[in-house]
Structure 1
Amino acid sequence: MTAASLLALLSAGGALAQDSSDPVRLTLHDWTGQLITTQLMGSVLQKAGLTVEYVQADYLAQFAGLETGDLHIAMEIWETTGREAMDAATATGNVVNLGPTGMQAKEEWWYPAYMVEQCPGLPDWEALKEAACAEAFATAETAPKGRYLGGPVTWGGFDEERIEALDLPFEVIHAGTDAALFAELESAIQREAPVLLWVYAPHWAPAKFEGDWVAFPEYTAECYTDPAWGINPDAAYDCGKPFGDIWKVVWSGLAEKWPKAAAAVEAFSIDNDEMGAMITEVDLNGASVESVVAGWMEQNEARWSGWID
């Protein structure tokens, strides 16, 4: 089923159908913003009278469960890292893209401003090819290569492939969790220690700290699929990550079994500023995801109630 046919089903009277009493399963991952987005959606569905179940799932591997109908809703598929897996899943006809969340994704290599003194060519990616620059980012674990702190392996991102394609004297070390990634960033900045790492937006870090993203060759779809494209004629991934939307995807049977849920997911929209403020409350101010979600629900009743009317 395509997104168009799913929405046609809703507009043709699906909203009059009886929603199943079975639980709607929403996937949870390992970063704060996604936990907030998903529990916002879950809270809205509960207000609509539906039973909700949250299922911890790997970001990319979750598509297998969405295709079989064991999982039903994934609220954050990032253009930057999830596009290929999403397109493969929707091509089966068993998964439907219900459109953008309203948030714009940016994920890329990021460095604090004080590192420009040691690597003066930044943000141009070619500065990273200089031995002195790589050494400035090196650790005992990676020397003489520079250290790039990537996200958890489950996030994808093709950073190892990017390093090879662009012939960068760097080694990827993956953070175990989202929390560990940003704990290391905070520690490094407090000490003005060298650090080059995966930073994404919407998030509090690029707003709180002075720094910049590395400017790699601009992404195109051909960069990831055609080795002949780009500056390295023998390798794909010789460019930066894509930027763009964060998507909502669902099992294709959602609209028939839970028409209220499909309509609400399709209507859901939130922007980077709203999400960034909520992530800040959790990650920096110590609030729980549940309390932040409850606060948003209380302050935005007129808005979310329109998603389920």
Structure 2
Amino acid sequence: MRKLLLSAASVMALSTGAQAADMGAVDEPIKLAVNEWTGQHISTHIAGQMLEAAGYTVEYTTAGYMNMWQAMADGEVHAALEVWSSNVSDQFAKLEAEGTVTEISDLGLVAREGYAYPSHVEELCPGLPAWEALKDCAGKFATAETLPMGRLVDYPADWGTPGADRVTGLGLPFKAVPAGSEGALIAELRASTEKKSPLLIVFWQPHWAMSAYDVKFVDLPAAEEACFSDPAWGVNPNETSDCDFSSTRIFKTSWAGFEEKWPAAYEILENYKLDIAAQQPLMGAVDVDGGAVEEVVSEWMAANEATWKPVVDAAIN
């Protein structure tokens, strides 16, 4: 298994105003939601091991991301550590307004979607990452399926057509071809990296492949709300979607009674931060190297105590 040694400055952050808090109901387990993707497992198990280091008992509860909110409102699940604002159930907003679930704080991950490419493609298409370079280099991305246009590997069809939308919006000489699955997207990145061949793809971070294949994003025009509703906005006065993807925020949530029941634990979760430089290699250690989440996180915790222990100590001492 790869060694996971990362700088303290890039991983955890301790709020300067943090103060020691009462431990609360240490005889009762804190139940953390485990959702459907590896990055969330990493985020959750790091938090869980921090809570255990503080003296709490933690239970990991499998919970569907889109339907866990009522269980949290009822106190059956106590916290979720990686919630994406771009894809969160309407029920969350309803229960938050009712005061039964609450947002804790941002996790620190910088999420992004967009046009992407393995770094070697910059040699094949000088001018990248500027999006305008794609107009001159399109022919280098062409295949028999797309000639004379370049080939853009879009998200799988059931994920929508964000790549195709931007081809039209930006007037790029590309044809968007849907990938069959997430695995197919990864296969494209692997093949391009091994063969040093041209590839333009729609992708996202956090994802282990961003680190494994040295993937970079194209710099598209910054997204604004008008980009998606007003054709007159942006570089193409006749089309919408002539801009980058909208940004998303990743945050932590809890049952509304969490802070009162476990004050120090709440403070730990509030001040716990994780960034992509830490999470993506850990995801790769699980999804690529085959490591168990618990073991991968434990190895990272042991090697990087200086990055998380001050958060715990400030809450309990």
- Whether 1:265 and 2:269 are equivalent positions in the alignment is yes
- Whether 1:281 and 2:285 are equivalent positions in the alignment is yes
User: Paired residue for 1:40?
Assistant: 46
User: Paired residue for 1:105?
Assistant: 111
TM-score (norm 2): 0.68
Cα deviation, residue 240, structure 1: 0.8
User: Paired residue for 2:181?
Assistant: 176
Aligned residues of 1:26 and 1:71 also touching (Cα < 8 A): yes
Cα deviation, residue 268, structure 1: 0.9
Aligned residues of 1:46 and 1:52 also touching (Cα < 8 A): no
Aligned residues of 2:23 and 2:265 also touching (Cα < 8 A): no
- Whether 1:146 and 2:151 are equivalent positions in the alignment is yes
User: 1:254 and 1:182, CA in 2 relative to 1: closer, same or farther beyond 3 A?
Assistant: farther
Cα deviation, residue 303, structure 1: 3.4
User: What secondary structure sits across from 2:129 in the alignment?
Assistant: coil
Which among 137, 141, 144 is matched to residue 136 of structure 1?
Answer: 141
- Whether 1:294 and 2:301 are equivalent positions in the alignment is no
Cα deviation, residue 36, structure 1: 1.0
Q: Distance in 2 between matches of 1:195 and 1:108?
A: 14
Query: Where do residues 230-249 of structure 1 align in structure 2 (5 Å cutoff)?
Result: 230-232=234-236, 236-242=240-246, 246-249=250-253
Corresponding letter in the other structure for 1:182: I
TM-score (norm 1): 0.69
User: What secondary structure sits across from 1:102 in the alignment?
Assistant: coil
Q: Distance in 2 between matches of 1:217 and 1:42?
A: 39
Corresponding letter in the other structure for 2:61: Y
Q: Distance in 2 between matches of 1:171 and 1:188?
A: 17
Q: Distance in 1 between matches of 2:97 and 2:177?
A: 32
What count of residue pairs does the alignment treat as equivalent?
Answer: 292
User: Paired residue for 1:219?
Assistant: 223
User: Paired residue for 1:18?
Assistant: 25
Higher RCO (Cα < 8 Å, 6 or more apart): 2
Cα deviation, residue 83, structure 1: 8.2
Which among 73, 98, 102 is matched to residue 96 of structure 1?
Answer: 102
**Residues 133-186 of structure 1 deviation map (CA, whole Å, 9 limit, x = unaligned):** 1772547499967232437966x8944544444355432524534x55334311
Which among 189, 196, 199 is matched to residue 193 of structure 2?
Answer: 189
Structure 1 unaligned residues grouped into runs of 5+? 1-9
User: 1:91 and 1:173, CA in 2 relative to 1: closer, same or farther beyond 3 A?
Assistant: farther
Q: Distance in 2 between matches of 1:225 and 1:68?
A: 35
**Residues 275-296 of structure 1 deviation map (CA, whole Å, 9 limit, x = unaligned):** 3443343345443322111123
User: 1:283 and 1:267, CA in 2 relative to 1: closer, same or farther beyond 3 A?
Assistant: same
Aligned residues of 1:111 and 1:196 also touching (Cα < 8 A): yes
User: 1:239 and 1:86, CA in 2 relative to 1: closer, same or farther beyond 3 A?
Assistant: farther
User: What secondary structure sits across from 1:99 in the alignment?
Assistant: strand
User: What secondary structure sits across from 2:216 in the alignment?
Assistant: strand
